[in-house]
Amino acid sequence: MRTLISALFIGLMSITSSQVIAASGGVHLDPVEIDLSDKASLQRGAKTFVNYCLSCHEASFMRYNRMAKDIGLTDAQVKQNLMFASDKVGDTMTIAMRAEDAKRWFGVTPPDLSVISRARGTAWLNTYLRSFYLDDAKSTGTNNVVFKDVGMPHVLWQQQGYLAHDEETGHLEAHDEGELSTYEYNVMVTDLVNFLAYIGEPSKIQRLELGKWVLLYLFLLFLVVYPMKKAFWKDIH
């Protein structure tokens, strides 16, 4: 039985590893620490998402007022800092650009990012956002190690700067400096990925909070039930 369980575990790990390698094109993915309890990180990630992602990508499953409540902002703060003038606080995070226009301009319709963290994984997103490099053969001027020939330009180039790709070693090297240091840019990406993980499963925050109370309830219940069990079964044991 133990041998069977070990074989099944090894098989499952092999399948999972193969899926990860296939999803990344064989590129090593850098894991990222996701902390949905870090509201400051979620707020920074929301700001980055609205400023740099929401012009092309929707998050149509998320409403502004739901986001405000979950990440510790008031409706007024969201209206002032995270919304366009025409939006209402109860609206979903959609864009004005039509899908057919986006496809004509970019060659493909930019995907809705509501569940991108669940579809791609946070390690993939973390590596992807840090792996754009200069490529004169592309109309956007950049390419990506993780997503070869991606249609998306490097929208965070002002923050990160530009990287050069060494074809022999596969390494990325600094070409032009950005406004942020490498550390600061990595923090920015971590916050953005943290926010994308949140909108992919916003109810997880409530589940984690509720889980603490459930465990406390079960512990207190055990303190009551166990002495009762001993009293009921003392004559049998």
Look up the CATH number of the domain holding residue 80: 1.10.760.10
Q: Are residues 183 and 235 in the same domain?
A: no
Q: Are residues 114 and 213 in the same domain?
A: no
Has residue 43 got a pLDDT over 90? yes
Q: Answer yes or no: is 14 within a domain.
A: no
Interatomic CA distance for residues 211 and 67, integer angstroms = 21
Q: Are residues 105 and 115 in the same domain?
A: yes
Residue 25, pLDDT score: 59
Q: What is the pLDDT of residues 162-202, one digit of tens each?
A: 999 998 888 999 999 999 999 999 999 999 999 999 999 99
Residue 209, domain extent: 202-237
Interatomic CA distance for residues 146 and 150, integer angstroms = 9
Cβ atoms < 10 Å from Cβ of 170: 10
The encoded tokens of residue 43 equal 């707020």
Q: Answer yes or no: is 170 within a domain.
A: no
Instruction: Please say whether the beta carbons of 145 and 43 come within 8 A.
Output: no
Instruction: Please say whether the beta carbons of 202 and 62 come within 8 A.
Output: yes
Q: Are residues 114 and 207 in the same domain?
A: no
Has residue 111 got a pLDDT over 90? yes
Give the number of domains in the chain. 2
Q: Are residues 120 and 206 in the same domain?
A: no
Q: Are residues 121 and 225 in the same domain?
A: no
Q: Are residues 103 and 122 in the same domain?
A: yes
Q: Answer yes or no: is 207 within a domain.
A: yes
Q: Answer yes or no: is 192 within a domain.
A: yes
Pairing of strands 161-165, 172-177: antiparallel
Residue 14, pLDDT score: 42
Residue 20, pLDDT score: 45
Q: Which range has highest mean pLDDT (67-76, 183-192, 219-228)?
A: 183-192
Residue 4, pLDDT score: 43
Q: Are residues 223 and 125 in the same domain?
A: no
pLDDT bin (cut points 50, 70, 90) of residue 85 is low
Report the percent of the chain where pLDDT is more than 70. 88
Q: What is the mean pLDDT of residues 115-143?
A: 96
49-53, 105-109, 116-120, range with the lowest pLDDT: 105-109
Q: Are residues 37 and 117 in the same domain?
A: yes
Q: Answer yes or no: is 155 within a domain.
A: no
Has residue 32 got a pLDDT over 70? yes
Residue 10, pLDDT score: 44
Query: 78: part of which helix (H) or strand (E)?
Result: helix 75-81
Interatomic CA distance for residues 198 and 89, integer angstroms = 18
b/e map 103-119, b = 16+ CB within 10 Å: eeebeebbeebbebbee
CA atoms within 13 Å, Cβ hemisphere of 46? 28
217 three-class SS:
helix
Q: Are residues 103 and 64 in the same domain?
A: yes
Q: DSSP per residue over 53-69, as a string? A: ITTT--EEEEEHHHHHH
Give 13 or 226, the one with higher predicted confidence.
226
Q: Answer yes or no: is 112 within a domain.
A: yes
Residue 66, pLDDT score: 93
Q: Going by C-beta distance under 8 Å and a sequence separation of 6 or more, which residues neighbour residue 66? A: 202
7-21, 23-37, 203-217, range with the lowest pLDDT: 7-21
Q: DSSP per residue over 83-122, as a string? A: --TT--TTSEE--SS-HHHHHHHHSSPPPP-TTHHHHH-H
Supply φ then ψ for residue 138, to 5 degrees: -95, 145
Q: Counting beta carbons within 10 angstroms of the beta carbon of residue 191, is it exposed (0 to 12), middle (13 to 18) or buried (19 or more)? A: buried
Q: Are residues 57 and 93 in the same domain?
A: yes
Q: Answer yes or no: is 54 within a domain.
A: yes
Q: What is the mean pLDDT of residues 85-111?
A: 84
Mean pLDDT of the chain, nearest integer: 87
Q: Are residues 127 and 206 in the same domain?
A: no
Q: Answer yes or no: is 6 within a domain.
A: no
